[in-house]
Amino acid sequence: MAKLFIPPAYKSHLNLKQTEHAIKTVKDHFQTALSAELRLRRVTAPLFVMKGTGINDDLNGIERPVAFPIKEFNDQQAEVVHSLAKWKRMMLADYEIEQGYGLYTDMNAIRPDEELSNIHSLYVDQWDWERHISKEEYNIDFLKHIVTKIYEVMKRTEFIVFERYPDIKPILPEEITFIHAQDLLDQYPGLTPKEREDAIAKKHKAVFLIGIGNKLSHGEKHDGRAPDYDDWSTATAEGYHGLNGDILVWNPILERSFEISSMGIRVSPEALTKQLAIEGCPNAKNYCFTNAC
């Protein structure tokens, strides 16, 4: 826990009981508002999936899942999920979710390779959602449209908390700022990716950082993204690449950026083939659902 930081003289505005109530308030209001804003239906998520099925999310492709044998399945290995990126896409088809609608779930996971800090734990409890979009919506403008909707839900949730706990003042700005990872690099060429995120979040307070996963002008990625996750290779109208990104807000207590959401438009068959080739998968054209390169 070397990266755990407790500010000097820090004291919570709420006691333990109030904190639990506040967490429930946030979760109850946010899921209801998000569901209404994005037209999402609630589904129940799995805690684990079978190894080798290709359903578990690879994250950056290097994290190790927690695995265990199942006696009734002749000790076949199951894996605790990292996230539900692929499972959700399957569920859109299984539930026959109509275009313009989607699903959401309260996902729990274990990530043993997580770098522990104030904002990262071995245990994950997060909202996961997926929406059925049209080919015409496969663009950066639609992505920004959805991000703006999510941000409005965040602001409404913040206000609900303020109404119930007046000592917790709203701090989110009126609008979220959009910036591409290349523009961020151009602004802060001497900083590391995390330092760049801190700098831009401190300046604008709420930011959607576009283009996570592809190499930038200096030959390095801002951060990793599995090639079969979302689309980080398609060119945008601005001439950059990436139909994905992270929602970042400034945390004044920790004095650093805080990642609220990692999201993006999912890979098309063309983007998947391209991104597998970029990542050096020798069998990119014949990539199958078992993730075998």
Of the residues 57, 58, 79, 230, only one is catalytic, namely 57
The yes-or-no answer on residue 183 being catalytic is no
Strand extents, DSSP E, the chain: 40-42, 48-50, 67-70, 76-80, 102-110, 123-131, 177-180, 206-210, 244-251, 256-264
Alpha-carbon distance 27 to 127, whole Å? Answer: 9
Of the residues 156, 259, 268, 279, only one is catalytic, namely 259
Q: For 208-231, what is the HEC assignment?
A: EEECCCCECCCCCECCCCCCCCEC
Of the residues 126, 183, 238, 279, only one is catalytic, namely 126
DSSP state for residue 241 in the 8-state scheme: B
Radius of gyration of the chain (CA): 20
The yes-or-no answer on residue 256 being catalytic is no
The yes-or-no answer on residue 275 being catalytic is no
* Contacts for 219 with CB less than 8 Å, ≥ 6 apart: none
Amino acid at 271: A
Alpha-carbon distance 156 to 162, whole Å? Answer: 10
The yes-or-no answer on residue 228 being catalytic is no
The yes-or-no answer on residue 195 being catalytic is no
Of the residues 223, 246, 256, 261, only one is catalytic, namely 246
Q: For 34-86, what is the HEC assignment?
A: HHHHHCEEECCCCCEEECCCCCCCCCCCCCCCCEEEEHHHCCEEEEECCCCHH
Of the residues 31, 79, 111, 275, only one is catalytic, namely 111
The yes-or-no answer on residue 246 being catalytic is yes
Of the residues 31, 83, 261, 262, only one is catalytic, namely 262
Provide the annotated active-site residues: 57, 111, 126, 246, 259, 262
